[in-house]
Structure 1
Amino acid sequence: MNGKVFLAGAAGAVGAALTPLLVESGYEVYGTTRHIERTDSIRAAGAHPILVDMFDRATLADAIERVAPTIVIHQLTDLPPGLDPARMADAVARNARIRTEGTANLVAAARAAGCERIVAQSIAWAYAPGATPYDESHPLDTAAEGARAITVNGVAALERTVLSLNQTGGVGAVLRYGSLYGPGTGRDAPQGASPLHVEAAAWAALLAAQRSRGGAFNIAEDSAEVTSEKAKRELGWRPDMRLAQRVVQ
């Protein structure tokens, strides 16, 4: 057994792909959801389901203290299936709240329980305009306005919170995912300037949990928009990784 993983968002698209990879790698996985009807699927994937809301600080802190994980992985979002345009306006604000308040609660609870290794989902399309391809040193678009400002400010808050672990002896890694497609995402084919298959995203989270020394990583298919060379070099990640490859022990 490699240790315990507290996986926030285990029933989501990335979480559902990531859980079997973690289990096959020898981790004991505790996966969260806010919806009781999703606990069976988490259990079927080999994890222990935990019913908790990331905005309920006391319950979340108690859950993480009881698990005492060695790694916390944050894959929470609050987006409509297929990014339905008719529902995105409300979802943008909800998703930003998860990235700000939810992330702060999760990291605080993890650190209180003695866990100093956290991997979190971010996005690869929050960069400020500039010369492409963007690498991880390029600044985020904090001067954005309107709905994009809500998204970017939420991303910036999430990343500050997670990356702060690296300043105090812990390991905080953020994975700047491209636009997801594949099972559970509502998209069957690549879309956007920086697409990413959901199973390749799950592999990136596993590899970051195992190998990362902290920092930000672009995680996307090769394109002119962003470069994922850092993840390839430091994590051994490839954009063609799929669940069919399974885990080589």
Structure 2
Amino acid sequence: MKIFIAGASGAIGKPLTAQLVARGHEVVGTTRSPARTGSLRALGAEPVVLDALDPEAVADAVAKAAPEVIVHQLTALNTPPDFRHAKRMAAATNRLRTEGTDHLLAAARAAGVRRFVAQSNGSWMERSGARIADERGRLEPRPPADAAESVAALRHLETAVTGIDWADGIAIRYGGFYGPGTGLEDAPDATLAQLIRSRRFPVVGGGTGVWSLVHIADAAAATVACVERGRPGIYHVADDDPAPVGVWLPELARALGARPPRRFPAWLVRLLAGGGPVDLMTRAPGISSERVKRELGWTPRYPSWRTGFAEGLR
């Protein structure tokens, strides 16, 4: 198949491109940066420099590519994830999940695309008291004020993509990425790993928020399955071992050769960074990936972050 990946030079875009090419697909991949076209070409893709917020440019790029499938992996999460950059990154990503999604859907319909697969996020499932949520669950209806726009953007993306009737619309709620290219990896320039090594990624409150994680290569493999044979609707993609932040974060620090993370009281982090980070660290549920396994036969190479941290960070 001919596949158009919006955001092909990102953390999941690169392994996804490589896996699709290895399976014989023809890939056109977009990037915002001309400097990244060489790496996309080396992976076997045809690179396109594109501003996804320019509707005419998006329509032209998709029309020229004439793909059968579009995969929307656009985010702006490409700078160090500290408090100074967090609001700017979130606002830019929100636009890509709202305006960018709408531009890609319009271009896809005009080009006769048969399947549209888009990146969502499993971190903001409803805080209903359930420890693990499946695809029947909804996004949190009452998020903290500083996270409301981000959750609304995810809701917009999921509703727009799964609501189309002219193609198969699929939204993937991923768990937290780790592994090469994600910032959570054993590399000198890995941004999140640097925060953990310098003890600037703390456990907040009791660290009771449950996070589902997924190795980036496993996330890409699940996306390939959705591209090739996914059914309309929502899929969750994460490993089989959801765990509280207070459990997995110290283990990640140990795997990176760092000292244990500091522990900050929730009231202090709420004062400094807002309610969103506190909510993620203390109230988030994990997600179940049984649907993608059952329907598409996906099996993660790293079914637990415990083996993933030990073997998959390089």
Same fold (TM over 0.5): yes
Aligned to 1:231: 292
* Unmatched 5+ stretches in structure 1: 243-249
Structure 1 position 112, deviation (Å): 0.7
Structure-2 residue corresponding to 1:164: 163
Partner Cα separation in structure 1 for residue 106 and residue 302 of structure 2: 32
1:137 aligns with 2:198: no
SS in 2 for 1:73: strand
Task: For residue 140 of structure 1, give the secondary structure of its aligned residue in structure 2.
Answer: coil
Deviations 1:97-118 (CA, angstroms, capped at 9, x unpaired): 1100001101110111111311
SS of equivalent to 2:29? strand
Q: Tell me the residue number matched to 1:151.
A: 150
CA distance in 2, matches of 1:236, 1:136: 17
Is 1:175 the counterpart of 2:193? The answer is no
Q: Report how far residue 86 of structure 1 moved.
A: 3.2
Q: Which residue is equivalent to 2:75?
A: 77
Counterpart AA for 1:173: I
Deviation string 1:55-85 (CA, Å, 9 cap, x unpaired) is 1110110111111100000111101346334
Cα deviations by residue, 1:9-38 (Å, 9 ceiling, x for unpaired): 010010010111111111110000111000
Report the CA distance between 1:235 and its aligned residue.
Answer: 1.5
Q: Is the 8 A contact 1:81 1:186 kept in 2?
A: no
Structure 1 stretch displaced more, 215-224 or 79-88: 79-88
Q: CA deviation at 1:185?
A: 0.7
After superposition, the CA RMSD in angstroms is 1.9
For residue 11 of structure 1, give the secondary structure of its aligned residue in structure 2: coil
Aligned residue runs from structure 1 range 1-249, under 5 A: 3-81=1-79, 83-130=81-128, 131-165=130-164, 168-188=165-185, 193-224=211-242, 225-240=286-301
Letter in 2 for 1:99: R
Output the TM-score relative to the length of structure 2. 0.72
CA distance in 2, matches of 1:25, 1:241: 21
Q: 1:85 to 1:199 in 2, by over 3 A?
A: farther
Scaled by the length of structure 1, the TM-score of the pair is: 0.91
Q: Percent identity?
A: 41
**Separation in 2 of the partners of 1:188 and 1:231?**
26
Report deviation, 1:147: 2.4
Letter in 1 for 2:224: L
The answer (yes or no) to whether the contact 2:109–2:166 under 8 Å persists in 1 is: no
Would the alpha carbon gap of residues 81 and 90 (structure 1) be closer, same or farther in structure 2, given more than 3 Å must change?
closer
Residue pair 2:37, 2:49 contacting (<8 A) in 1 also: yes
Distance 1:81 1:232 in 2: 33
- Offset, 1:169: 4.3
Deviation at 1:234, TM superposition (A): 1.0
- Cα offsets for 1:175-225 (capped at 9, x unmatched): 101111111111028997111111111111110001111110110111342
**Which structure has the bigger radius of gyration?**
2
